[in-house]
Chain A
Amino acid sequence: MHNASDADRDFIAAAMPAFISEAGEQTEAIETLLLELEEQPDNRELLDSLFRCAHTVKGSAGIFGLSKVVEFTHHVETLLDKCRDGELALTPEISTLLLQCNDQIKFLVDTASDESADTPDLKDLRADLVIQLQVYTESAGKPTQANAAPVAAPIAAAAGAATSPAPSAAPGLTLWNISARFGQETFRNGMDPLSIAKYLKGLGHIQSMTCAIDAVPALVNLNPETCYLSFVMELESAAKREEIEGAFSFVADDCELDIQCPESAEQKLVRAIEDMPATPRLGDMLVSVGAVSQSKLTEVLSNQEQSTPATSGQKAKIGNLLEDKAGVAPAVVEAALNKQQKAKESSGEENRFIRVQADRLDAVINLLGELVIAGAGANLLARETRNVALIEANLHMNGLIEEIRNGTLGLRMVPVGETFSRFRRVVRDTAGSLGKEVNFEIVGGEAELDKSMVEKIADPLMHLVRNSLDHGLEPPAERVAAGKTPAGKLTLSAKHETGAILIRIEDDGRGINRERVLQRAWNKGLIEQGVVPSDDVINMMIFEAGFSTAEQVTNLSGRGVGMDVVKRNIEALRGNLKLNSRPGKGLTVDIRLPLTLAIIDGFLVGVGKAKFVLPLGSVVEVIEAGGQHVRVDKNGRHVVELRGNVLPVVRLRSLYSVESTLPERTSVVVVASSKGQYGIEVEVLMGQQQTVIKPLGRLFKTLRGISGSSILGSGEVALILDVGSLGDLVTADLHSSSHLNRTEVTP
C-alpha cells in the first residue's frame, strides 16, 4: 500500500507540469471566450465551449487533488450552467465577475505546488467572488432539471426493438442512447465509470441504464484493478451530443463510446454494427445483427465462389451480392463496410497536437545544423572520387537533409495571433477603468514568428498598448468635441516585410504633444534648454528613461518606467521602433523585428574572400556593372545609374574594409528597404539558398548593417546583411557618420 501511494505521488509530480500548462491553456481559452461572448452574447457554441473549459479545469484539478481549484471552479461552473440553460443572461457584469474568477483559477493552478503563495487576502477575495457568484446563481430560476417530469417513455431493448416504435422524449428533449465500453486501464488511470454516470445524470434524466458484465471474468481470474464494465443508458436531456461526449473526455482515449439519437429500424441496425468490436468479416457482422440469416449468408457466399470469373482475379463484392440476393438494405451494408474500413485506419484522428519541450526541439535543430555540414562534407568527398553512384547517393541524401531541416525549423514558428488575442482582455479592462470606449482590432495574427521571439515581444507590446489607451485615446466627451467618434480605435497588426516582421500599434487618439514633450525634456535636462531638435527626435524622447508627460499618474502608466524598457527590450531583439505621430489624429508605433532564429531565403554574395547573405525577399534585381560604372557623385556618395535614375550604392569592400584586389567586373544587387531602393556592390554572386540565422551574441551588439550570421553548407560562417540598417548608413547624413566617411575611401 505504501508503495502504491508513493507511485501515485511520483505519477502526480511527473504529470503536474503538463497539467499546469494545459490548465493554463484552458483558462486562456476561458478568457478569450468570455470576451468573444461580450460581442455575441447569444452564441450558444461559445457558451458551450466556455462551460467545457471550466469543466475540464475542474476535472483535471480533481485528479491532482487540488481541492481549492475544484471547489472554486465548481461555483463558476454552476453559474455558467445557469447561463447555458438560458436562466441567466451573460451580462457585462457577470462577464467581469467571471473574468476575475478566471484570474483566480489561473492563480490557483499556477501556484498549485506552492501553498504559501495563497495569502489570506486572496482567500478573502475568492470568498467574496464566490458570494457574488452565488447571488447570480440563486437569482436565476429554480433548476429545471428537478422539474422535468419523468416521462414514461417506453424503454426499448437494444436488439429486439427493430420493429417497435421509436421511444419518445419530452418536447424539446432528446432521448439519447449511450453505450460505453470502458478500457481495462480505466481504474488505474484514476477514473471511475460511476462518476461519469453521475455526471450524465446531471445533464438530464436517465430513463434506463444497464451495466454489461459479460466481460467480467471468473473470480479467480479477476483483477480488482482492471475495469471490465460497460454500460448502456438512455438519457433524456436537452444537452447536445458534444456535452454528453464531454462527460467522457477523460476516458475518451480507451473507451469505446457510442451516442445515438432514437432511430428507425434501419438506423438501429447501423448502430448495432458500429457498436460491435472490430469484426473483420462483413458477413459475420450482418448475421450477428440479424440483417441476414446465417443460412442465407452461406448461400450467397457459395454463389460468390461460383460466379467469380476465372479470368479476372476479382471477386464479385460480397456486399453487392447481399444487397441483390438477400435483400439487405444498402445503408446497412454500407455501415458494415465503413466499420471494416475504420478498423483498418489508425485511431489517431484526435491527437493532432503533440507537446514537445522547447529544449528538445533546440537540441534537434542544433544537431541538424551539424548534419547539414557533415552532409556537405560527404558530398565534397564523393565528388572527388568521381564515383557517379556515390555522388548520386550523396545528392539524394542532401536533398533529404534539406527537407528535414526546413521541416524542423518550421516547427518553431508560431502565429503571433495567440499573443495578440491576450491583449483583448488588457484593452477591455484598461479602457473600462479609464472610462474610455475602444474598438480593438487585430489584423494579421497569422503572421509567423519564432516562438522565443513571440514570448519576448509580449511585454513590450503590452506597455505600448496600455500607453496608447492611457495617453493616446481621449475620453468619449473629448473625442466628440474634437469631431471624432466617441469610441476610439486601436489596431494591432502584424505582417512580414522583407526578412523582418512589422508589428504596428495604431490608435486614432491625440498623438504626441510635441510641445509638452519638449518642455519636459528641457526641464529634465534631457535636452539643453532652448534647443529644438527635429520632430522625430522629440517623439523618440518618450522612450527615454524617467520620462513621462502624464499630468496624473494612473495605476497603469505615467510613472515613466516602461517606455524606456520597451525600447531596450526591442533593441535587445535587434529590432527597431518608429513613431509616426499625427497630432490630434493619432499615433502609429512600428516595431520591426528581424526573424531571428528563423529560416530565411538568402542570396549569397561574395566580396573578396568574405561571404555575405542578403535576405532574398529584399533583393529587387541584380545589375552587372564594370567597376567603373559605380562612380562618386558630388556629395561623395557612390552611385550607379539605373534606367536613368541615380541609385546610391554601398560599396561593401570599402565599408567593411575587405582586403582584396578589385576585380574587373562587379555586380550591384539592388535591394529595397523601408527607406527606398539602393544598391550593394558585390564581386561574386553565389545564388540563393536557405539560411538559418545564428545570432551573433553580445560582443557584436553595436555592429550595424549586419543582423546575424549563418553557417553555410561548407561549414563556413557567412554574415547576414541587415538591409534596413545598411540603408540607414547609406542615406544618413554624410558628415555625421563615420561609416560613410570610410565608404568614401576608394580602395
Chain B
Amino acid sequence: MSHAMTAAASFLPGAQRSLQEDALQYLTFSLGDEVFAIDIRSVREIIQHGSMTVVPLMPEFVRGIINLRGAVVPVIDLQSRFGRPKAEFGKKTCVIIFDVGPEGDKVELGLLVDAVSEVIDIAPSAIEPPPPFGTTIQREFIRGLGKVGSEFIVILEPERALNIDDMVALTEQNLTA
C-alpha cells in the first residue's frame, strides 16, 4: 500500500514537469480590441449568447444567470470585472463555460466575451511574467504575457480574476453600499 503511494507521489511531479516543458493550449478571445487567452484545461464549453435572466441587486459584472441544460450558471461580464463599461451584445458575443475554484469545490461560471478566436499553443518559455506596471487591468489578474508571433497576449489567471470569494465580497459591498 505504502509502496504504491510513494510510487504515485514520485510520478506526479514528473508528470507536471513534462507538461510544463510541453506547450500548453490556450483559448483566445477578444474583449473590445484586446485579445486575451485562458488555459483551455479549465474550459468546459463555449455557447452562443442567448437569453439571460438578470439577478437584481448584484454588481454590474454579474450579468445574470443562464440555463445550461438544466443547470443554472452565473455569467460574468469580464469587461465590467476589469472595471470597464459593461459589454454590449454583438453578433459574435459568446459565453465561455469554465470551472473555477479549488479542487473538490469547483464552481461553473460563464464568461461573457465579445468573440472567441482560436486555440493556440504557447510554450512555457514564451510566457513572460506580467509587467509591474502599464497593464490596463489589475496585475494580479494576469498569469503572464504569452508571445505569439510578434504580439503579446495577456493570459488570464482565472483563479484570481474570477475568485468566487472576492466576487461574493464585492456583491456584499454592493448590497450595503
B-binding residues in A (CB < 8 A): 366-367, 369-370, 373, 610-611, 655-658, 694-706, 709, 711, 715-719, 738-739
Contact = CB atoms under 8 A, between A and B. Distances in A.
A298 B171 CA distance: 90
Contacts of B71: 366, 694
Given A656-B56, A739-B57, A709 B65 contact: yes
A718 B67 CA distance: 10
Contact of A366 (B62, B66, B70): B70
B53 interface: yes
Contacts of A699: 62, 74, 107, 109, 164, 167-168, 171
B168 A717 contact: no
Contacts of A698: 107, 164, 168
Contact of A706 (B51, B55, B168, B171): B55
Contacts of A711: 67, 70, 72
18 contacts: A367-B70, A611-B53, A656-B57, A694-B71, A695-B72, A696-B65, A697-B74, A699-B62, A699-B107, A699-B109, A700-B58, A703-B171, A705-B57, A706-B55, A716-B67, A717-B65, A717-B67, A738-B177
B72 A658 contact: no
A580 B177 CA distance: 32
Contacts of A369: 69-70
Contacts of A719: 53, 55-56
Name the prevailing secondary structure of the A interface residues: mixed
Interface in B39-94: 51, 53-58, 62, 65-67, 69-72, 74
Given A370-B70, A696-B55, 18 more contacts: A366-B70, A366-B71, A610-B53, A610-B54, A655-B56, A656-B57, A694-B72, A697-B72, A697-B74, A698-B107, A699-B107, A699-B167, A700-B58, A701-B168, A702-B175, A703-B57, A709-B72, A718-B53
Contacts of A716: 51, 53, 67
A423 to B, nearest CB: 31
A739 B171 CA distance: 14
Nearest to A610: B54
Contacts of B171: 699-700, 702-703
A703 B55 contact: yes
Contact of B176 (A658, A696, A738): A738
B172 interface: yes
A694 B53 CA distance: 14
B56 A738 contact: no
Nearest to A608: B54
Contacts of B55: 696, 700, 703, 706, 719
A703 B168 CA distance: 10
A700 B167 CA distance: 9
B67 A373 contact: yes
A81 B72 CA distance: 56
Contacts of B54: 610
A698 B102 CA distance: 14
Contacts of A657: 56-57
Contacts of A655: 56
Nearest to A714: B51
Contacts of A373: 67, 70
Q: How large is the interface on B (under 10, 10 to 19, 20 to 34, 35 or more residues)?
A: 20 to 34
B51 A715 contact: yes
A694 B56 CA distance: 17
Contacts of B74: 696-697, 699-700
A622 B109 CA distance: 37
B112 to A, nearest CB: 14
Shortest Cβ-Cβ A-B pairs, 5 listed: A656-B56, A369-B70, A717-B53, A694-B72, A702-B172
Contacts of A739: 57, 175
A717 B66 contact: yes
A703 B58 contact: yes
Nearest to A737: B176
Nearest to B73: A697
Contacts of A704: 175
B111 to A, nearest CB: 13
A555 to B, nearest CB: 33
A689 B171 CA distance: 31
Interface string B94-111: 000000000000010100
A657 B176 CA distance: 15
Nearest to B167: A699
Contacts of B172: 702
Contacts of A366: 69-71
A406 to B, nearest CB: 16
Contacts of A709: 53, 65, 72
A452 to B, nearest CB: 16
B66 to A, nearest CB: 7
Nearest to B105: A698
Contacts of A658: 56
B108 to A, nearest CB: 8
Contacts of A610: 53-54, 56
Contact of B107 (A697, A702, A703, A715): A697
A702 to B, nearest CB: 5
A210 to B, nearest CB: 53
B90 to A, nearest CB: 20
Nearest to B169: A702
A718 B177 CA distance: 26
The CB with the most chain B CB atoms within 10 A, among A367, A369, A699, A705, is that of: A699
A705 B57 CA distance: 10
Nearest to A372: B70
A370 B70 CA distance: 6
A494 B43 CA distance: 44
A167 B119 CA distance: 89
A663 B78 CA distance: 34
Interface in B128-177: 164, 167-168, 171-172, 175-177
A736 B72 CA distance: 33
Contacts of B70: 366-367, 369-370, 373, 711
A140 B162 CA distance: 71
Nearest to B174: A702
A717 B53 CA distance: 6
A370 B177 contact: no
Nearest to B53: A717
Contact of A702 (B67, B109, B168): B168
A701 B67 CA distance: 19
A510 B57 CA distance: 43
Contacts of A696: 55, 65, 72, 74
A697 B100 CA distance: 13
Contacts of B109: 699
Contacts of A718: 53
A706 B175 CA distance: 13
B43 to A, nearest CB: 19
Nearest to A366: B70
A715 B67 contact: yes
A698 B56 CA distance: 16
Contacts of A695: 72
B66 A738 contact: no
Nearest to A698: B164
A705 B58 CA distance: 12
B104 to A, nearest CB: 14
